[in-house]
Amino acid sequence: MPFIVIDAGHGGWDKGVSCLGYHEKDIALSMANQVSRRLRELGFTVKQLRDSDTDAGSATNRGRAIAHLKPDFALSFHVGASGGARKKQGSDIIVPIEKSCSKFESSLHRCLEELKFCHRVYSKEARTQNIINRSSTKDFRFAESKESPDYYTIMREAWAGGIPLDIIELFYLDNEEDLAKFFNLEESYVEAVVKSLALTFNVPYDRASNRTAPAASYYRVVCGAYDSLEEARQVQAMVQKQFPNAWVQPVDEERR
Ligand SMILES: [Zn+2]
């Protein structure tokens, strides 16, 4: 069975991008856990570099760990921040420069286009920081014009060990509309990744039957606002205990 390594970006002390009360490390972890669980259901062998809120090491160490594990393919989940006034939206699929885009990238690209949630597919060079567009079918081929290795450390290290790793920037966290849209279609997104991997490795895909159709809207339930951080944490713990599957926004100390 195909062997996939899943990396949830950041973790522990390293929150990644923090915006609108959410941290990149939590969103990446939630996605990584869901994708891993579904892949295992389909029979894939899956190794997660982290499956809880821990520090999984630097990008260099993660890339080397992946090269050492020798999977067939690896994915690293992140979210983006566009900064500035012009807000970006949707997902970025980042591919190693020297990798010919496979069934995986073309399938995921197509699925995300259907969800109206694809921003771009690209590679990025280290020295020139050039962005090479890999979105169109002709550019899915190996990028022969490369002048330097990949910009992203984890990708470069994994590739140096012969392992293709794609980075998926799920959405832009500093765009509230994008955040809401992502939560709306998160389950379909998980299935898009899983389905694309199944297609790539010729594993029969079947959408889990116990899953409900994605909700048409996204409703946020707020449990309260508290003067005391301790009280807020108690309520958070209570909610988490009673609804283990609920997404609970981390209590943010800086927002007291
Ligand atoms: Zn990140």
For the chain, the straight-line distance linking the first and the last C-alpha, in angstroms and rounded, comes to: 49
Mean pLDDT, rounded, for 10-38: 96
Taking the centre of ligand 1 as the mean of its atom positions, its distance from the CA of residue 189, in whole angstroms, is 18
Q: How many angstroms is it from 94 CA to the middle of ligand 1?
A: 12
Give the Å distance between the CA of 228 and the centre of ligand 1. 31
pLDDT of residue 163: 95
Range scoring the smallest mean pLDDT among 13-22, 142-151, 158-167, 228-237: 142-151
pTM of the model: 0.81
pLDDT of 41? 96
Mean of the per-residue pLDDT values of the chain: 87
pLDDT digits (tens, 9 = 90+) for 100-116: 777 899 999 999 999 99
**Across 110-124, 137-151, 160-174, 193-207, least confident range:** 137-151
Q: What is the DSSP string of 15-59?
A: --SEETTEEHHHHHHHHHHHHHHHHHHTT-EEEES-SSS-----H
pLDDT of residue 256: 37
- Ligand 1 centroid–CA 14 distance in Å is 10
Q: How far, in Å, from the CA of 172 to the mean position of ligand 1?
A: 11
Query: What would the two tokens of residue 151 be?
Result: 């910009």
Better pLDDT: 212 or 27:
27
Q: Please list, in sequence order, all residues whose beta carbon lies within 8 angstroms of the beta carbon of residue 225, skipping any fewer than 6 positions away.
A: none
pLDDT per position as a tens digit, 30-67 = 999 999 999 999 999 999 999 999 999 999 999 999 99
Rounded to the nearest whole angstrom, what is the distance from the C-alpha of residue 163 to the centroid of ligand 1?
20
Tokens at 208, concatenated: 């889990």
Quick: pLDDT tens for 148-171: 789 999 999 999 999 999 999 999
Q: Give yes or no for a contact between 171 and 80, defined as CB atoms under 8 angstroms apart.
A: yes
Tokens 């470069």 -> residue: 156
